[in-house]
Chains A and B, each alone.
Chain A
Amino acid sequence: MSAIHIENLVKSYEKGKVKALKSISLDIEEGELFGLIGPDGSGKTTLFRILTTLILPDSGNATLMGLDVVEDFWEIRKIVGYMPGRFSLYQDLSIEENLNFFATVFNTTVAENYHLIEDIYVQIEPFKKRRAGKLSGGMKQKLALCCALIHEPKVLLLDEPTTGVDPVSRKEFWDMLGRLKEKGITVVVSTPYMDEASRCDRIALMQDGQIMEMDSLKNILQKHPQHLYAVRSKDMHRLLFDLRNFEGMKSAFAFGDEHHAVLGKGSDDPNQLFDFLQLKGHEQLAIRPISPEIEDVFIQLMQAQES
């Protein structure tokens, strides 16, 4: 059985003017660590709100552990752990009080499920008397995760838990999610950071209310080959404009200290590109073929969607 089954889910706002989800279908297996990857406004939060029974879809249906998000909403709320994008714990309660509050609401105790949160909670325990509103971003995030876990949910839904978080803390957070997965919890995480795709079993790439692609990262990268080259020269800024003026260039964008250039099918000759750029007076020119990364594929899919 799928942990989450979603079929033709549609949701619009403002009397149909804003289409947040345009018929989304997807299945997430039990015990899977699944990533919804896409920019703000792609529909990630709307999907989470439907799955957590906070809003109703316009049409289509969705089930969690076989329970329907409309019919069985009371049952779903007992088995779902949800960490919304915006910090939504009680700022005036301490770490300890927040945790006890959420345990009590779900008719359990902190002691009963301590094993689930232990390795996260020990990191914030020294500050357990401090009010949640006075915590640093990283500590708030850990407390919110503990509160979402304290009733031993079957499915954990995390809406952009790493947005605005520095790269070191982001890596630590994903390590924690990996350990939760090992305990058998199904975890669904949304993120705008494409590099986090590598931490998921499977991912869905979302844009504009649609799923552009869904599979393991490895399969997605293999499914979308490109004539992709990493290009460098002494003047990187001018290089970008010159690359775009090359006939047959599909797209050219900066990627860290290199530019990634995608050549069209008929014009896939890096030697011609080299000569062209040399004629433009580029020094220390280097062109090498590379395999696409997740952002290369995302850009390609976005461009296909737009055209």
Chain B
Amino acid sequence: MSKVIITEKLTKKFDDFTAVDAISFEVEQGEIFGFLGANGAGKTTAMRILSGLSYPTSGKAEVAGFDVYNQVEDIKRNIGYMSQKFSLYENLTVRENIHFFGGIYGLGRKELKQASEELISRLHLGPEANKLVKSLPLGWKQKIAFSVAILHRPKIVFLDEPTGGVDPITRRQFWELIYEATSQGITAFVTTHYMDEAEYCDRVSIMVDGAIAALDTPAALKSQFNASSMDAVFLQLARAAKRS
């Protein structure tokens, strides 16, 4: 198996504040990797570095085979990104959004046409394809946003709290989409505040005060911390945090 993310003592400082403190970990291709931590633990800063939006202060990291210091444009072309806060343009139709994002991600005209028709039929969006995104239910938006983020077949898709605020059925259907994508070899790097979703990950890391305090499969973490659920594991680790 190839590794799509490798970090070694990756560090980011803002003046005298160390937001990310020498984190080292690896993510395998096709893995669902849960990236958990309390607010302020350094998750967002680390994700920004890994997606080529911010430079580290020291340490090493490679994403999709490219270096986070001098190959950030290559990184951006080989990843997808989706969050609950930013997903689709509300005032564009479904088809326009697909074309817009596909174009941004560098798909050619012909490729784009094929990929977008494929997506529309796979999600059974035929009748809705020419409707404005804002008229669709949130659950649909989330599914379209995810599909758009992987339209260019990236090696990794970063999902930043993708299921915040959605109903319990849609939340679970969303995870089924993640499973489908990863079974095709895409790696999913996911943050979430729903601890039951941590169980759906192949491996989970938990950040505390800028460092990775634990990293393993959910089953191994539960046995290591003698806990019955990931919620209990998280509580044990995050309660020890010094910054909030």
A contact set with B: CB distance below 8 Å: 38-42, 136-139, 160, 163-171, 192-194, 207, 237, 240, 253-257, 295, 298-299, 302-303
Cα distance A137–B138 in the bound complex, in angstroms: 24
Q: Which residues of A contact B239 (CB under 8 A)?
A: 168
Partner of A164, one of B37, B164, B199: B164
Q: Which residues of B contact A164 (CB under 8 A)?
A: 39, 161, 164, 193
If A40-B165, A254-B175, A254-B200 touch, whether A167 touches B231 (CB-CB below 8 Å) is yes
Interface size class of B (residues with CB under 8 A): 35 or more
If A40-B138, A256-B196 touch, whether A167 touches B235 (CB-CB below 8 Å) is yes
- On whether the beta carbons of B165 and A167 are closer than 8 Å, the reply is no
Within 8 A of A (CB), among B13-58: 37-40
Cα distance A163–B193 in the bound complex, in angstroms: 9
If A41-B138, A166-B193, A237-B179 touch, whether A256 touches B168 (CB-CB below 8 Å) is no
Closest 10 A/B residue pairs (Cβ): A39-B167, A40-B165, A256-B196, A166-B38, A256-B199, A168-B238, A295-B168, A257-B199, A192-B165, A253-B172
| Secondary structure dominating the interface of A | mixed
- On whether the beta carbons of B168 and A194 are closer than 8 Å, the reply is yes
Q: Which of A138, A167, A193 has most chain B Cβ within 10 Å?
A: A167
- On whether the beta carbons of B137 and A41 are closer than 8 Å, the reply is yes
Chain A nearest CB from B244 CB (Å) reads 5
- On whether the beta carbons of A163 and B165 are closer than 8 Å, the reply is yes
Cα distance A41–B170 in the bound complex, in angstroms: 13
Within 8 A of A (CB), among B213-244: 218-219, 229-231, 234-235, 238-239, 241, 244
The verdict on B169 contacting chain A, using a C-beta distance below 8 Å, is yes
- On whether the beta carbons of B169 and A136 are closer than 8 Å, the reply is no
Chain B nearest CB from A48 CB (Å) reads 15
- On whether the beta carbons of B38 and A169 are closer than 8 Å, the reply is yes
The verdict on B166 contacting chain A, using a C-beta distance below 8 Å, is yes
Q: Which residues of A contact B172 (CB under 8 A)?
A: 253-254
User: Who on chain A is nearest to B234 by CB?
Assistant: A167
- On whether the beta carbons of B195 and A299 are closer than 8 Å, the reply is no
- On whether the beta carbons of A169 and B39 are closer than 8 Å, the reply is yes
Chain A nearest CB from B176 CB (Å) reads 8
Cα distance A195–B199 in the bound complex, in angstroms: 16
Q: Which residues of B contact A240 (CB under 8 A)?
A: 176
B contact set with A: CB distance below 8 Å: 37-40, 137-138, 161, 164-170, 172, 175-176, 179, 193-196, 199-200, 218-219, 229-231, 234-235, 238-239, 241, 244
Chain B nearest CB from A53 CB (Å) reads 25
If A192-B164, A254-B172 touch, whether A136 touches B200 (CB-CB below 8 Å) is no
Q: Which residues of A contact B218 (CB under 8 A)?
A: 257
Chain A nearest CB from B174 CB (Å) reads 11
Cα distance A237–B239 in the bound complex, in angstroms: 32
Q: Which residues of A contact B137 (CB under 8 A)?
A: 41
Cα distance A38–B169 in the bound complex, in angstroms: 12
Cα distance A42–B244 in the bound complex, in angstroms: 31
Q: Which residues of B contact A171 (CB under 8 A)?
A: 235
Q: Which residues of A contact B175 (CB under 8 A)?
A: 254
Chain B nearest CB from A267 CB (Å) reads 21
Q: Which of A160, A170, A256 has most chain B Cβ within 10 Å?
A: A256
Chain B nearest CB from A138 CB (Å) reads 5
- On whether the beta carbons of A253 and B169 are closer than 8 Å, the reply is yes
Chain A nearest CB from B193 CB (Å) reads 6
- On whether the beta carbons of A40 and B166 are closer than 8 Å, the reply is yes
User: Who on chain B is nearest to A260 by CB?
Assistant: B172
A-B contacts, 27 of them at CB < 8 A, read: A39-B170, A40-B138, A164-B161, A164-B164, A165-B39, A166-B38, A166-B234, A167-B193, A167-B195, A167-B235, A168-B235, A168-B241, A169-B38, A169-B39, A171-B235, A192-B166, A253-B168, A254-B175, A254-B200, A256-B195, A256-B199, A256-B229, A256-B230, A257-B199, A295-B168, A298-B167, A299-B169
User: Who on chain B is nearest to A258 by CB?
Assistant: B199
- A40-B165, A167-B235, A302-B167 known, 8 other contacts, Cβ within 8 Å: A41-B138, A136-B39, A168-B235, A240-B176, A253-B168, A256-B195, A256-B196, A256-B199
